[in-house]
Chain A
Amino acid sequence: MASKKLQTGIEKTDGFDFLRYFTVRNYLIKYFRLGDIIIVLLVIAIGFSPMYLHKNGSIKSFSIILDSAEIASIPADTDTTIIVPAPLGAVKIEISGGRARVVESSCPRKICVHSGAIGKAGQAIACVPNKLIIIAVGDERSGKYDAILK
């Protein structure tokens, strides 16, 4: 019998030639339709999505820690001004537009005031003389890194 070209582009000879028959291209054409491929890609995309959701360091709240104890946790979307009774006197913290900064401080060197505003998960302002820390807390700890050398 004369050999004949099949739709798959494989030359068919008599009998079942497994190696010739079982190529990746044939396999895909035979067992996958366009719909199947779309479903598989979709499921893979859903599977990977958690890795990218928390990547951009979005923040949930600002945590204010005075002498190793959390005294307040303020949602990031509130606009407010807080006055903390620190050991050396009042420290004024302003939260607006998802960013927090120290406006006024009773400490001598005012490093906390000069360190500016924070708004990314994991960032912090410290006022050492007043034993005060302000930390931007994220939904998840910014997923990709266990720690950052700042």
Chain B
Amino acid sequence: MQNYTKCSKFGANSKMRKKFRKPNVEYMLAVLLSFAIIIFVLFISGCGNDEKIHSKQWLYFDTIIELNIYGNPSDASLDSIWQIAKERLALWDSLTDPYDSTSALYKLNNEPIGTVKVDKNLGELINAALDWRNRTDAALEPKIGHIVTLWNIGSRAEKIPSQTEIDSALFLIKSSDIVPISDSICIISGDIKLDLGAFAKGFVVDKLYDSLIKFCIGNSAISGFLVDCGRNIRGWRRNGKSFTIGIANPRGDNIIAAFELPSGWGCASAGDYERFFIKNGIRYHHIFDPRTGKPARKAIAATAITRSAFDADAMSTAAIVMGKNIEKILDDSETTIILFYETNGNVVWESIGKKRNIFQ
């Protein structure tokens, strides 16, 4: 009988070594396995930083728009990507800015009643916005312009309007209407004032996504891209890997939650922290309930994760107005909405719709 434990790693003597040739193979395996684990760990921790990111920023829609290109494209193709993006953004900014007197939306808002011609692109956006109005039972109202200009949040001359002023603005909203005949012809009645703040950015992200994917899919040096247009994000990766998106605390600087955004999907956040003023301890912000004409208070912020950035943009805004009731209008089993509330000074969140891994 042999005493196995007396055999050290290197063998006690030649006789022993002969007997334990077989276990020595195990020892080598153990060493190899250790090396394999070490190499594996080194690989995992190293590969996250391999992808080169090229990024560029523009200022449109009163916000910073960032485009990230992943991979190693040539300078010429990068330049043409920046060119495509800039052209698209400038075009849509010039169509949808309600304050710029040269924009197509401003002109439409100041047309006399009757049949009017609209820019085809703007008409498409208006149609999509009116669909959302029907879907949310007017919790999202594209005609909200009268209320927006009445409160004028974001300017330095903020004041709380009287109930009479709110009522007359609400009457103007109710008595005006827009009926699209096609993408380029609409019939308007009453004093209409469209404000597409809840739709425009998401719509532009989708349009930009469509033109970028046509360019990038044929260029194998590009491994993906991500469009970030003021809280509206959509990205694509050739290998189908998802993006990690963090959500900033609506009442601070830190990241309070994060999730995986699948390639090709869109996400958006809305909240009462974007544009607001505080008077007598009450926060008055820029997302209004079209039924009361006052800032909506069902949630302090909302994040929507859907298949397109446009739906995400509209849905996150609608969630501020509707709160938990938004669950009723979710018509697919894929959308997730994260609602944020403030209770006793703490920010808490709950998720509605499809369950997703939401981590810190």
Contact = CB atoms under 8 A, between A and B. Distances in A.
Interface of A: 1, 6-8, 12, 14, 21, 27, 30-32, 40, 43-44, 47-51, 65, 68, 109-111, 120, 124, 126, 128, 131-133, 135, 140-141, 143-150
A119 to B, nearest CB: 10
A143 to B, nearest CB: 7
A145 B8 CA distance: 49
Interface residues of B, number: 52
B238 to A, nearest CB: 15
B175 interface: no
Given A68-B86, A110-B156, A126-B59, A146 B4 contact: no
Contact of B303 (A7, A14, A143, A149): A149
B49 A145 contact: no
B64 A126 contact: yes
A39 to B, nearest CB: 9
Contact of B247 (A131, A146, A148): A148
B305 to A, nearest CB: 10
A131 B321 CA distance: 32
B336 interface: no
B38 interface: yes
B245 A147 contact: yes
Contacts of B27: 31
Contacts of A44: 37-38, 41
A61 to B, nearest CB: 15
Contacts of B68: 146-147
B231 interface: yes
A6 B6 CA distance: 10
B45 A68 contact: no
B116 interface: no
Given A31-B27, A145-B255, A47 B45 contact: yes
Given A50-B46, A68-B57, A124-B64, A145 B156 contact: no
B269 interface: yes
B53 A141 contact: yes
Given A8-B5, A149-B231, A150-B231, A68 B58 contact: yes
Contact of B4 (A6, A111, A131): A6
A148 B269 CA distance: 10
B119 to A, nearest CB: 23
